[in-house]
Structure 1
């Protein structure tokens, strides 16, 4: 029995998608204004085709924003952007995800400053800058790979459209949700909450676990 179990578990582990979080955020020096909304700048990478862009909100972002607003009582102001190099042409594919993500953190901060200096939006430390990509950072959804990365917590994130839960997962990290509080629920079939490491055989719940709901609410409340 044990001799059969080990290769099965190894195979399952190989299928799991690796979602990551980084603990260090870019050095924000500006104070937040409690009157500001929580803005989500959703930037499409140049490699995302138009057909995928049109379905991104309904399929990938709205499940997160509905759940987030239910948890926190705060609204998300969503701003899409595309065709804006160097942000939309950022080279996110890398085996060294830590070094790559440091580059994205710097660009995300510069992006927020640009929108502020153009008199479009004031800067808030609660802003989120999400790079939406067509592909994984490395690897892929079948045999394992890195589908996204984010600050834990913080303002920068990257998430692939190859997996529907990736955007909610990485934005969850940015609001202090953690893997350890992820759960598998059963509602006729097994489904994973946003922060649970995914397996292809299960579906997506598109909700956070109770533990992560408490973490997100406490984090957002602490900001004001």
Structure 2
């Protein structure tokens, strides 16, 4: 199983939180007609007409098989962030309200994904070009996963980096850019699904932390010597850093002292090593996170890479007592705040502006046993 049970693509799950959206005007005069139309095309038309806009989007009624109802998607504003998936032009993200709850929309290629962070987890409703029906599957491995029984053990290390697989487009060294590399063992999981469940809500919040600053996110496809590295030992972060260094040299990408604003993150199917869902260098540029981990795993590790700490984490209240992204002591009685504490937000802004001094690697690993998984 790839995903935490808290992340689902489903017709019948409803969002949990309540929020008041921005004012919007109706885009579709006859919302019932939208149930039969290509929702992705309708979305593009709504955005082109100017924001904010309200769009009637099909949802299924719980307990009523095949019956389609319409929920209001209020498209509020563009988040002004580039998201690039393999083989696609840069996509866009939007702040939205979906059936009265805060949501984040990612529009890229043939995909339209609505991510709804709630008290009990992240719920995703997705559409593809040419269809009016939401995705009805749970993101994760398919029956074809048995073709590769042990991808980690079979991975080849020390291979020459494939110079043809270059993230595109290229961004300036001084602009915050995250390079995300889904490991080859996640090949049966669509990167759009990973983004919608683990990344979209975090990126929307980061835009509120770094207001007005350029942020880019690039997912790379299979890269020999990078996305096929072995993992599962406590040296995994060092091995990943070595692979990234070789890759950055071949591709001429910023690395280490050249830019602290370029981050390299490996996404794995299994845990990086036993009992740990994510590892990263504090204030550094390399990190790893597993899709087997809780949905805040990536946000937690990205936070370390941006300079946030456990010490500055806190609890908050969003209708229920909640945990900010960097809290390292978790309780089932608390929900997720889906944000960093005010202290960590200040640190992220300061390090973004002035740079960071990563903890030397030989002294860091003891600090990195984050997001434990039983």
| TM-score category, normalised to shorter length | 0.7 to 0.9
Higher relative contact order (CA 8 A, sep 6+): 1
Q: Is 2:237 aligned against 1:101?
A: yes
Matches of 2:336 and 2:246, distance apart in 1? 34
Once the two structures are superposed, what CA deviation does each residue of 1:83-106 show, in whole Å capped at 9, x if it has no partner? 112211112211xx2x22111111
Which residue of 63, 68, 92 maps to 2:231? Answer: 92
Q: Measured at CA, do residues 100 and 122 of structure 1 come closer, stay the same or move farther in structure 2, by a change above 3 Å?
A: closer
Residue matched to 1:161: 291
Once the two structures are superposed, what CA deviation does each residue of 1:158-212 show, in whole Å capped at 9, x if it has no partner? 0111221111111110111001111122223232111012536133222000010
Offset of residue 214 of structure 1 = 0.7
Offset of residue 136 of structure 1 = 1.4
Aligned residues of 1:38 and 1:75 also touching (Cα < 8 A): yes
Which residue of 114, 137, 156 maps to 2:272? Answer: 137
Residue matched to 2:147: none
Offset of residue 129 of structure 1 = 0.4
Once the two structures are superposed, what CA deviation does each residue of 1:143-168 show, in whole Å capped at 9, x if it has no partner? xx211111110110101112211111
Residue matched to 1:180: 311
* 1:30-179 correspondence to structure 2 within 5 Å: 36-51=174-189, 53-73=191-211, 74-94=213-233, 97=234, 99-116=235-252, 124-125=258-259, 126-139=261-274, 145-162=275-292, 163-179=294-310
- Helix, strand or coil at the partner of 2:217: strand
Hey, which of these two has a bigger chunk of helix by percent?
1
TM-score w.r.t. length of structure 1? 0.72
Residue matched to 1:12: none
Aligned residues of 1:38 and 1:127 also touching (Cα < 8 A): yes
Aligned residues of 2:313 and 2:340 also touching (Cα < 8 A): yes
Offset of residue 43 of structure 1 = 0.2
Hey, which of these two has a bigger chunk of strand by percent?
2
Aligned residues of 1:39 and 1:77 also touching (Cα < 8 A): yes
Computing the radius of gyration from Cα coordinates, the structure with the larger value is: 2
| Structure 1 alignment gaps of length 5 or more | 1-32, 140-144
| Structure 2 alignment gaps of length 5 or more | 1-170, 357-374
- Helix, strand or coil at the partner of 1:180: coil
Q: Measured at CA, do residues 190 and 92 of structure 1 come closer, stay the same or move farther in structure 2, by a change above 3 Å?
A: farther
Once the two structures are superposed, what CA deviation does each residue of 1:100-137 show, in whole Å capped at 9, x if it has no partner? 21111111122222332xxxx56651210000111212
- The count of corresponding residues between Structure 1 and Structure 2 is 180
Matches of 1:217 and 1:75, distance apart in 2? 13
TM-score w.r.t. length of structure 2? 0.45
Q: Measured at CA, do residues 215 and 85 of structure 1 come closer, stay the same or move farther in structure 2, by a change above 3 Å?
A: same
